[in-house]
Amino acid sequence: MPRLGDPAPEFTAVTTQGDITFPADYAGRWVILFSHPSDFTPVCTSEFMTFAVMQDEFALYNTDLVGLSVDGLYSHIAWLRTIEQKITYRGHSNVKVTFPLIDDHTMEVAMKYGMIMPGEGGSSTVRAVFIIDPKGVIRTIIYYPLSTGRNFPELLRVIKALQTADEFQVATPADWIPGEPVIMPLPGSCGTAKERMDGAAEEKLTCQDWFFCTKELSEAEIDSRLQVKSVETLVG
């Protein structure tokens, strides 16, 4: 199973949107690679509809979606057509899934990413989430059991938090959402710790102690930087 900071394992695959070479085809973009246990199941259906409804919102943050299960291509196509034609969830109907869904009936990709846990789902993939950055590095790994659907606002929040940390060289505290104060990096020495405390007001920092300093960062400033980067990536 890959770990945080590892390069995303490479693979080529057939999907509902054509063949892909991963992660090379997504260079320069963030990706949420996620697995679901099986087609034609209710929890998975609710998740795919939610991802499809939020796809444009993820795209604002330069993030693509790629799904996977061990079902075959024709099962995927039939299931996605059923979702579009028959299923309503949280007021959404006629939902068309346009992001790729990988045919992994050989389990090759699932095994590379540690998506199969026999104690939880036999030979089915569990609800795994891998967030991969524009350099093809794994930045977040989240697993959910078969009975529990994913929290999609949290997945979007994690994308925003990772990109905010990278763009502004900060960290994000517990329960952070864009617009709340961010945490400044720790000082590297006793001297810089003292300088930080002495210059906190001038740098507009709020320091409760040398190791705990925060700074205001508005949601508008975050969005202006991150979404401009997204547009530049698309244009480029």
Q: Is 36 exposed, middle or buried (0-12, 13-18, 19+ CB in 10 A)?
A: buried
Q: What is the dihedral of CA 234, 112, 108, 24, to 10 degrees?
A: 20
Q: Is 127 annotated as a binding residue?
A: yes
Residue 66 DSSP symbol: E
Q: What is the DSSP string of 200-218?
A: TTTTTEEEEETTEEEE---
Cβ atoms 107, 70 nearer than 8 A: yes
Asked whether 36 and 47 are in contact (CB, 8 A), the reply is yes
- Token pair recorded at residue 104: 């992994």
Between CA 5 and CA 129, with CA 151 as vertex, the angle to 5 degrees is 30
Report how far residue 190's alpha carbon sits from residue 133's, in angstroms, rounded to the nearest whole number: 34
The alpha-helical segments, DSSP class H, found in the chain are 42-59, 73-86, 108-112, 118-121, 152-168, 190-198, 219-235
Catalytically active residues are: 44
- The residue whose two tokens read 């590379």 is 112
Q: What distance lies between CA 222 and its chain's CA centroid?
A: 17
Annotated binding site for substrate: 127
